[in-house]
Chain A
């Protein structure tokens, strides 16, 4: 039972354009969502998060949008840079499960020059 789904295994985007990574979830009790970025041979690195009381959070080039009614969140990267090429994981947590993170399978983002 996949509670957090990233349906696109990979995404290719031109440098300078917008990258949009998507994540869907099924558990309506999730109240905190995070995006992590992972380079090969390294551990995941925290990127940005959003609480369920918000619908948008921005940090520089990165913006996360949350649509609770659709149980959907997305990560926008503008403008995309070569260093953004990595695997992006979406993760979610809920207070009633001790905030344990449930992870999506990841989306590999490739930024083309």
Chain B
């Protein structure tokens, strides 16, 4: 158990819809990272928050947004969903802004029909 909690585990929705994925980091970790893993691909970094502030952005689409709340949990919002957004979405956390290693949740599997 990594201590990182992601909900929901599975999400099935239709094109054009909007969903919110939730992540609670390990106790004491201030950084939260979001990743997307499409079929048979490596993890693609989307965005990082550190102590409530956006710290780094990767290949995150404009249709996607995230935030980190005062209690340090984070949400990833995906809107105007397309078939290609079907993927595993992982959240990870670390102690500091550049802390390694990152500890991962078990992911949310998003399926767009």
A residues adjacent to B (C-beta < 8 A): 4, 9, 32, 34, 36, 41-46, 49, 89, 91, 93, 98-106
10 inter-chain pairs at a CB distance below 8 angstroms, sorted by A residue, are A36-B101, A36-B104, A42-B106, A49-B101, A98-B56, A99-B100, A100-B56, A103-B43, A105-B41, A106-B40
Provide the residues of chain A in CB contact with B6, threshold 8 Å: 43
Instruction: Decide: A46 and B102 in contact? CB cutoff 8 A.
Output: yes
What's the nearest-Cβ distance from chain A to residue B95, in Å?
Answer: 13
Beyond A103-B43, A106-B42, 8 additional contacts (C-beta under 8 Å) are A36-B104, A43-B92, A43-B106, A44-B43, A49-B100, A100-B56, A101-B43, A103-B42
Provide the residues of chain B in CB contact with A100, threshold 8 Å: 45, 48, 56, 58
Closest-by-CB residue of B relative to A93 is B100
Provide the residues of chain A in CB contact with B48, threshold 8 Å: 100
B residues adjacent to A (C-beta < 8 A): 2, 4, 6, 40-45, 48, 55-56, 58, 90, 92, 97-98, 100-107
With A32-B100, A34-B100, A49-B100 known to touch, is A4 a contact of B106 (CB < 8 Å)?
no
What's the nearest-Cβ distance from chain A to residue B50, in Å?
Answer: 10
Q: B-side binding surface: helix, strand, loop or mixed?
A: loop
What's the nearest-Cβ distance from chain A to residue B66, in Å?
Answer: 15
Query: Once bound together, how far apart are the Cα atoms of A102 and B2, in whole Å?
Result: 21
Provide the residues of chain A in CB contact with B101, threshold 8 Å: 34, 36, 46, 49
Instruction: Decide: B100 and A98 in contact? CB cutoff 8 A.
Output: no
What's the nearest-Cβ distance from chain A to residue B27, in Å?
Answer: 17
Query: Once bound together, how far apart are the Cα atoms of A47 and B106, in whole Å?
Result: 16
With A98-B98, A101-B45, A104-B42 known to touch, is A46 a contact of B103 (CB < 8 Å)?
yes
Closest-by-CB residue of B relative to A2 is B42
* A-B residue pairs, 4 tightest by C-beta: A43-B104, A103-B42, A46-B101, A99-B98
Closest-by-CB residue of B relative to A103 is B42
